[in-house]
Structure 1
Amino acid sequence: MAQRAQRIARADVTGQSTSKTSAGWQEFGRALRTWREQRELSLRGLAERIRWDYSLIARWEQGKNRPSFEAITILDAELGAGGELVKQALRMAMADTDRLRRSTVEAVEAKASTRDEGGDMERRRLMRDAAAVAVGGAVAPVLATLTDAWQASEPRISGASVSQEMIDDWEDAADTHARRAYVDSPAVVLAGLAADFADMAPHLSQDQPEPVQRDLAHAAARHASLIAGKWFDLGNRREARRWWGKTRSLSERSGDTLLAAWLTGREAAYRRTDLNEDLSDVLLVAQRARRLAGDRPSAPLVIALSAEAQTLAMLRRYVEATTALRRAEDVFDQLPSSPVGLDPHWMYFDRSLIYTLADDARRATEAQDAAKEFYSSGHHGTATIALHNAALHTRTDPEQGTRQALRIVETLPIARRDARVRAAARIILEVTPEKAHALPVTQELRALTAAGDRSA
């Protein structure tokens, strides 16, 4: 009864009627039903999983109500849609916000048409598309209007379509998105990234003075790398590969070799968790990042060495992994106290991962205990570190360790059970003694870690 009351209470705040919005939500509803049926779930079965009333889910499928952004991300994660439902919801929201925008800001649109109308309109459409789902249709037109007005008020660089303030703002935005990625669900971060990248895109395609083009590419490469990572977390490998390719091309255009090293190292760190990747290929990516970083101490060199150490550990080359980790720590010690773009507690994660895989319980436990002092409860690394600890217990007590891992994953919000969390949980399966593979709890964890993985 209490759970049903909770579902009904949530329905009250997530059942936005589509009577005044785009009929395209019927298309979203059909997609939602298709994903549900592919998972062989009834409406009531899905309702029990996500703790929303089944009648509300039925209205979503019929296109009569529009789910909230929270609901969309949870549905996507629970049904293993790999970001497809999120992407479709972004498209559907565009029609809603276009209608709202036309009725409230016609004067702004008329003024905007005197500029590069085609590029500006596409930028605004994409920006409103993301904003509509992230902050709600009623706020999205205001957000788009204020963004247009702020940009129009800034003086342009001679011969360029942007101001220095706009470029600086996009760099600051990349920092903000990177920080939020540690605590927010991938889909929430992706919506914000989509708005900012769509804002930059038309300027990237225009002729700009060379220094402006480099600075634009620098900010855009940082966004593209984060976009790739969030698509990866959502399980959509095809989109992730596309955006890593965009990251590489933009890094080259920026002319910043250290930026290229930094973002290439990030790519390797993500890809080493993918079951469909050849880890030898991922190691080459990490080594390319190290070569780009050169020999001088820098945060990108730390990131490259970290990715190399992680990948070597996944390849069970533990001596080499430990050597790379120690070199990364030596470089880190030579950096300023707060190196830009580098989580100061990265070493605890690397130590925990590498020593857990190497079955060095003492060093792994020391790293995990130290991490607890620095990671907040909502930090992405908290659950991963806890799963490493569960893997240590699994070697000596398979049933207890696996149950510990199940509790960790099941207590996470569904939208936070991303690809990297599932990869950490799979470590438990890798270290489980063969005789324990048939345990029901082991099979349950295997099914849970497989949910949502997509190779597309």
Structure 2
Amino acid sequence: MADLVTDFADIRPLLGVPQPVATRVRLCRTAGQMAGMTAIVLHDLGSRREARAWFATAAHAAGESGDRQLHAWVMAREAMVGLNYGSPKAAAGLAEQARRVTGNSPTAAATLAAAVAARAYALSHQPDQARDALADADRLMERLSGEQRADTWFGHCEQKHHVHLSHALTALGDTGRARESQGRALELSAPTSSMTRTLLTIDGAACAHHDGDTEQACRRAAAALAVLPAGYRTGLIRARATDLYQSIPAQHHREPAVRALHNALA
């Protein structure tokens, strides 16, 4: 993140002086990309206020660049702040804005926006809208070109797609399909992808809880947290594990496995 911010600072003076139109467009596009990447890192760390400020900068730069797909990507990624930190209805609204901006073309941004909308609707207890958005995301994914499927910040590869499906299907209670996506996403995730692999494990634990095995759910989530370095037990991972703990009825909170999850979060 420090490198991104430093590079962004190098671009700012260039945007403050007259430039040929083509040059300014390229500068705005690059600034939008780097501000968006910085915002994503801040989101993952749990710095929501700072993330939103950087997303606003990214959206402004993307808008000036005229790159509609970049603008939609920024909005879809910003929607994930509300999605992951307790405002799913606001997230659904922002994701739908991103979907309107992308149009009907099968792009990485369009696929991401549909997948984020599906997650937001699922968490907002709007299952019909969630399933429609999931179907759209799957249809778009099938039509993506090789470049759009690239495993980059701005591509939408199969691994990313299944990470989104895992969360949406888990929230819908469709545990069978959710586990399929979790398994596929884990196959495609590098062993060093600690955050992604832990989030998928927590999704799997939530599926176990939904299917009636709360003890196993708590043990799996607590074990996943225990092996993480302290710096990873914050932000998004902590929020997702806390959501699992809070979904367990209070009368079970004295059970050993549930207490173990509580202690891991504490």
TM norm structure 2: 0.89
Q: Once superposed, what is the RMSD of the aligned Cα atoms? A: 1.9
What whole-Å deviation, never above 9, does each CA across 1:284-317 have from its counterpart, x for those lacking one?
1111100100112111110111110111111122
Is 1:209 the counterpart of 2:52? The answer is no
Deviation at 1:269, TM superposition (A): 2.0
Deviation at 1:443, TM superposition (A): 4.8
* Aligned partners of 1:398 and 1:436 also within 8 Å: no
Cα distance between partner residues in 1 of 2:64 and 2:198: 37
Alignment of 1:42-441 (within 5 A): 190-275=1-86, 278-339=87-148, 340=150, 341-379=155-193, 380-395=195-210, 396-439=212-255, 441=257
Cα distance between partner residues in 1 of 2:147 and 2:113: 18
Please identify the structure whose Cα radius of gyration is greater.
1
Q: Letter of the aligned partner of 2:25 in structure 1? A: R
Cα distance between partner residues in 2 of 1:214 and 1:448: 48
* Aligned partners of 2:206 and 2:244 also within 8 Å: yes
Aligned length: 259
| Residues 312 and 210 of structure 1, relative CA distance in 2, 3 Å threshold | same
* Aligned partners of 1:391 and 1:427 also within 8 Å: no
- 1:296 alignment partner, SS class: coil
What whole-Å deviation, never above 9, does each CA across 1:193-221 have from its counterpart, x for those lacking one?
12211221211222211111111010110
Q: Letter of the aligned partner of 2:223 in structure 1? A: R
Cα distance between partner residues in 2 of 1:448 and 1:238: 26
- 1:373 alignment partner, SS class: helix
| Residues 443 and 226 of structure 1, relative CA distance in 2, 3 Å threshold | farther
Q: Letter of the aligned partner of 2:237 in structure 1? A: V
Cα distance between partner residues in 1 of 2:84 and 2:264: 16
Cα distance between partner residues in 1 of 2:45 and 2:180: 31
* Aligned partners of 1:231 and 1:237 also within 8 Å: yes
Cα distance between partner residues in 2 of 1:426 and 1:343: 28
Cα distance between partner residues in 2 of 1:203 and 1:445: 50
| Residues 281 and 344 of structure 1, relative CA distance in 2, 3 Å threshold | same
Q: Letter of the aligned partner of 2:142 in structure 1? A: D
What whole-Å deviation, never above 9, does each CA across 1:178-236 have from its counterpart, x for those lacking one?
xxxxxxxxxxxx12212211221211222211111111010110111111122222222
Cα distance between partner residues in 2 of 1:324 and 1:267: 18
Cα distance between partner residues in 2 of 1:247 and 1:448: 36
Following superposition, which runs of at least 4 residues in structure 1 exceed 6 angstroms of deviation? none
* Aligned partners of 1:264 and 1:289 also within 8 Å: yes
Cα distance between partner residues in 1 of 2:183 and 2:88: 29
Q: Which protein is richer in helix relative to its size?
A: 2
TM norm structure 1: 0.54
- 2:189 alignment partner, SS class: coil
| Residues 440 and 205 of structure 1, relative CA distance in 2, 3 Å threshold | farther
- 1:387 alignment partner, SS class: helix
Deviation at 1:438, TM superposition (A): 3.6
| Residues 440 and 203 of structure 1, relative CA distance in 2, 3 Å threshold | farther
- In the alignment, structure 1 segments of 5+ residues that lack a partner are 1-189, 452-456
* Aligned partners of 2:202 and 2:221 also within 8 Å: yes
Cα distance between partner residues in 1 of 2:23 and 2:259: 55
| Residues 321 and 255 of structure 1, relative CA distance in 2, 3 Å threshold | same
* Aligned partners of 2:45 and 2:236 also within 8 Å: no
Cα distance between partner residues in 1 of 2:246 and 2:122: 13
What whole-Å deviation, never above 9, does each CA across 1:161-189 have from its counterpart, x for those lacking one?
xxxxxxxxxxxxxxxxxxxxxxxxxxxxx
Q: Letter of the aligned partner of 2:93 in structure 1? A: L
What whole-Å deviation, never above 9, does each CA across 1:141-171 have from its counterpart, x for those lacking one?
xxxxxxxxxxxxxxxxxxxxxxxxxxxxxxx
- In the alignment, structure 2 segments of 5+ residues that lack a partner are none
